[in-house]
Structure 1
């Protein structure tokens, strides 16, 4: 009985372990989309920085695939910056860029692109891009660090986006409401969009400088 109890404890400890995806060597945990390199990205004291002068599609893709997880990371953008965080990516050569298959939590300079226009909330920080508008705008001013804690839990059919300590978006991951969200978005005619529940996560290359650090993930 004691051995069984020990094995159960070990199992649940392993299930809830946070894994650090930040390192001095980016290639330990990442590669660029449809590539074996990390071209365009640099690690500066474990801060991942995208060089926008490299005009290739250099979205940074995790080496590992994930199903249900909590992702915690910090990010910032310069003026005019634009990026995003994808999940359940289908890294198939027939799709030229990650956003063709993967839902995205927005990373952007809200003020530069949208100012005070609240009609564009589905495209602002805290949104699931073009699908879920945040309940509030919680991003820090451009150039300051922000923190996302993103839960994608297919086991419980729930997703949640926490921005700087505030829950700003909660949504289902399948079913009628999820399908309606896609139907009411730009993705409704995209055959490959959101067709899988397991895949890599990815950090978007949108041709502007972006910074990520303290990237940690816990599988559920």
Structure 2
């Protein structure tokens, strides 16, 4: 079932339940119980960060078979010790599959050796582009000040994180990202913007914020109609590493 179909179905279930409540005038616990539909059963991960049974594994620590460069060629990013690292001139990479609404888990690490001559956006810079359009910033912001809407876990050039939850360079960090895609009308105009929630190292840093449009380095974002899109990881010239990447379509 497509995302566009789920919203009317959910609304219909809610309306049916409301009518049922109105018709049942008995004052007892059963009058407000809804038995159908039942949530489908899945198996959660054994520990935080582990993929649940309904997740799609985008990187299992072994290879980049689920990824290609933006021009469709195989990635040259190096896979080693259960992680992969941005390669010099390795180009951005994207998932072969495209997604709508989803829950995404990504673990990342900035280089342990810090070049003290580099500051701000020059340290541990990469990015996670949701549907290939909306960048969640990856950056070493441990004792490294930059503009607020450009620091780690921001929607780049849009939303400032509620807090700075960065760990020291060289330590693994994690993002849990909950994304709702925008909705467009038949004329291609956005009627509901995209929304995102980001949890950085177990701390909520963006709380269901509306995305203004695709990420722009210069200028203001403008929505254009589309259906789905890939997850894109950015080559910003810094040897940032990634591991344990999985996604759940919702």
Q: TM-score, normalised by structure 2?
A: 0.64
The answer on whether the counterparts of 1:126 and 1:161 sit within 8 Å (CA) in structure 2 is yes
> Residue 153 of structure 1: CA displacement?
1.8
Output the CA distance in 2 between the equivalents of 1:215 and 1:167. Answer: 19
- State how far apart, in whole Å, the 2-side matches of 1:42 and 1:22 are: 13
Asked if 1:200 is matched to 2:216, the reply is no
Say whether 1:83 aligns with 2:121.
Answer: no
Deviations 1:59-99 (CA, angstroms, capped at 9, x unpaired): 1100000000010011011132210100112xxxxxxxxxx
Structure 1 residues 1-220: aligned runs within 5 Å: 17-23=54-60, 24-26=62-64, 28-39=65-76, 41-52=77-88, 55=89, 58-78=91-111, 79=114, 80-89=123-132, 102-111=133-142, 114-115=144-145, 120-154=147-181, 158-173=195-210, 178=212, 186-188=218-220, 195-196=225-226, 198-220=228-250
* Residues 69, 153 of structure 1: 8 Å contact kept: yes
Q: What secondary structure does 2:149 align onto?
A: helix
1:25 to partner: Cα distance: 2.2
* Higher percent of residues as helix: 1
Query: Does the CA contact (< 8 Å) of 1:103 and 1:194 recur in 2?
Result: no
Count the aligned residue pairs: 185
Superposed CA deviations along residues 6-52 of structure 1, whole A, max 9, x for unmatched, are: xx8797759x81121113221x210111122112x021133011122
Alignment partner of 1:122: what SS? helix
Q: Which runs of 5+ in 1 are unaligned?
A: 1-7, 90-101
Q: 1:219 to 1:9 in 2, by over 3 A?
A: same
Q: Determine the C-alpha separation between the residues in 2 that align with 1:42 and 1:205.
A: 13
Judging changes above 3 Å, is the alpha-carbon distance between structure 1 residues 138 and 194 closer, same or farther for their aligned structure 2 residues? Answer: farther
- Structure 2 unpaired stretches of 5+: 1-36, 44-52, 115-122, 183-191
Greater C-alpha radius of gyration: 2
